[in-house]
Copies of this chain bind each other. A is one copy, B any other.
Amino acid sequence: MRIAVDTLGGDAGPGAAVQGAAIAIQAWPGLEVDLFGPGEQLTAEVANLPRHLAAAGLRLSVYHAPGLIHPEQRPSDALRRGAASSMALMLAHVVAGHAVAGVSAGNTGALMALARRALGTVAQIPRPAICTAIPTHDEGRCYLLDLGANVDASAKRLVDFARMGEVMARHIDELDAPRVALLNVGGEATKGSETVREADALLKQLDSLNYVGFVEGDGIFAGSVDVVVCDGFVGNAVLKASEGLARMLITRVQSTFESHLGSRLVGRLARPALRRLKRELDPVRYNGASLLGLDGIVVKSHGSANATGFSYAVLRAAQEVSRDLPTRLAQELGSRHDSTQQE
């Protein structure tokens, strides 16, 4: 299995992407990664991989593609002027069949726009969505989508998102009948926006879906549902707020233990536990986000992911490849989409 990686655009620089790819290679037998970015730098990064990752270097190839899609660049601008960027060339590599999936930590909007143009969408899905797995109270996970690809979403599009998330949870997490919910401001059918109530009515008609109704924001983490659907504005706000809160809480846990425990000894004993927590407490930084609905597999790594975070995104892509997610989406949504096909 060969995955293409855009090494530019992440906060931690190409080095984190190269190391992340190497970590993924060591974790996934048979995986090879083609790296896109500034050739000389990438070659040096591969040559200087830490000792425990050095073996992975043999399964890394470097493609010189130094053009950067700027983090603030508008998608329309990326479409017009980004053809020579590492991101676009990485996607072209996937389209040409040289790799089976693409990963990037760069500009999300540009990635979605370029990927959509390069790969197209699965039949029946006019608008792809961004989807990530959120850790839940019971140490499970919940897929949340859309995370920002569609700031407004009609009821029909929310239904698409529900069905895509359900296919993801069923095939990737091997759940028999993933519980799917709509995010709303209250549990009752009389509450919420008109769009959400309309989507609720449509979802209730889909016998093939284990639709459980509305959840509020805390339902995402509760462990009682497997897929939560909302428009991209809400999903993005919830995800970013969760990131901000998690970061604040980590700092507070750390400073409470470091300064208020009355004993440096305890602080030292607590440090390993804190390190472990740090990773657990920052749920959103440690998962790749899937661009779901594309006719191909593209995973967005968090912009501020370190090498470990980046490796999760690559492994996420590998998982989706191994389950042939786009084909599943095409088959299942094509055959069951009839009642809600028209906008």
Q: Using a CB–CB distance below 8 Å, which chain A residues touch chain B?
A: 72, 74, 109, 135-137, 148, 151-152, 183, 185-188, 190-193, 216-222, 230, 232-234, 236-249, 251-253, 256-257, 260-263, 266, 269-270, 273, 276-277, 280-281, 283
Contacts and interface: CB of A to CB of B under 8 A. Distances in A.
Given A74-B188, A192-B151, A241 B269 contact: no
B257 A280 contact: no
A302 B186 CA distance: 15
A217 B236 contact: yes
Given A109-B186, A217-B238, A261-B269, 8 more contacts: A109-B191, A221-B248, A234-B237, A242-B242, A245-B245, A252-B281, A256-B273, A256-B276
Pairs of residues from A and B, 4 with the lowest C-beta to C-beta distance, nearest first? A218-B244, A217-B240, A217-B241, A221-B244
Contacts of A263: 269
10 contacts: A137-B248, A137-B251, A216-B237, A217-B236, A217-B241, A221-B244, A237-B238, A249-B249, A249-B281, A256-B280
A72 B188 contact: yes
B218 A247 contact: yes
A13 to B, nearest CB: 21
Contacts of A239: 217
B192 A217 contact: no
Given A219-B244, A242-B245, A270 B281 contact: no
B240 A218 contact: yes
A252 B238 contact: no
A192 B240 CA distance: 14
Contacts of A152: 193
Contacts of A242: 217, 241-242, 245
Given A188-B74, A218-B241, A241-B220, A233 B266 contact: no
A269 B187 CA distance: 41
A243 B266 contact: no
B221 A247 contact: yes
A340 B175 CA distance: 51
A108 B115 CA distance: 44
Most buried by B among A260, A273, A277: A273
Contacts of A148: 185-186
B261 A273 contact: yes
B246 A217 contact: no
A117 to B, nearest CB: 19
A261 B18 CA distance: 34
A242 B266 CA distance: 29
Contacts of A277: 252-253, 256
A221 B237 CA distance: 12
B245 A257 contact: no
Contact of A240 (B74, B216, B262, B281): B216
Contacts of A243: 217-218
